[in-house]
Amino acid sequence: MPGAPAWAVLFFAMLFTLGLSSMFGNIEGVITPLLDMGVLPRWVPKEILTGTVCLLCFLVATCFTLQSGNYWLEIFDKYAASLNLIIFAFFEVIGVVYVYGMERFCDDIEWMTGRRPGLYWRVTWKVISPLLLLTIFVAYIIFLVWTTLSYKAWNPQYKQFPSRQEKSYPGWVQAICGLLSFLPALLVPGVAMAQLPIWRRRKQENVQQNMCLKLQDSKVSDSEVR
């Protein structure tokens, strides 16, 4: 191809800019919740938090640059996102439709758009979507249970080399695959359980405040009567 070096430079520059644009969104998805949760004091600059998150991501990503980096990339690609996205989508639908309430959600859409969702959308959100997501989740779990976790390795001693030889993952790698599949999803009930005592304490404080206000009102009304 004429001018091959120039096209090669442009191609890798395109990959670099694509990677940067993707990482902007990914890093903001981590930094914004940390800022909203108040993990760090207000006087700490956002740049320090951003630099710390980028450094941690860089250290975690060094495993992909090792001699076995391609195998680790395959593990993260297969088990880090697929199951968790299904779980998150299922609980989002359940939370919006059955916890927040379908009528309240439709009222919000009507307030924003001026039109109320039709019967098709309400049936889809309430019945079809949860059933489809649950079916996919059960099928995926059955597939993981009945399938041997394996990978294709480069082995010069393999009879059919340069074709890659299929090998089973060691036990410790299978444990890592299980953690990657379920650990992000377990953070949701974990954070909910951690917030439960805080919610109960706030509820008790509100009850006590309401009782104090009622006592004050009763005292004021008694004094007025006298």
pLDDT at position 24 over 60: yes
pTM beyond 0.75: no
How high is the pLDDT of residue 9?
Answer: 92
How high is the pLDDT of residue 226?
Answer: 57
Distance CA(123)–CA(121), nearest Å, equals 6
Q: Where are the domains of the chain?
A: 32-65
Please state the rounded mean pLDDT for residues 10-24.
87
Please state the rounded mean pLDDT for residues 63-90.
81
Q: Is 18 annotated among the ligand-binding residues?
A: yes
How high is the pLDDT of residue 221?
Answer: 59
**Joined tokens for residue 145:** 């249970």
How high is the pLDDT of residue 61?
Answer: 85
Q: Is 218 annotated among the ligand-binding residues?
A: no
Residue 146 burial class via C-beta count within 10 angstroms: exposed 0-12, middle 13-18, buried 19 and up: exposed
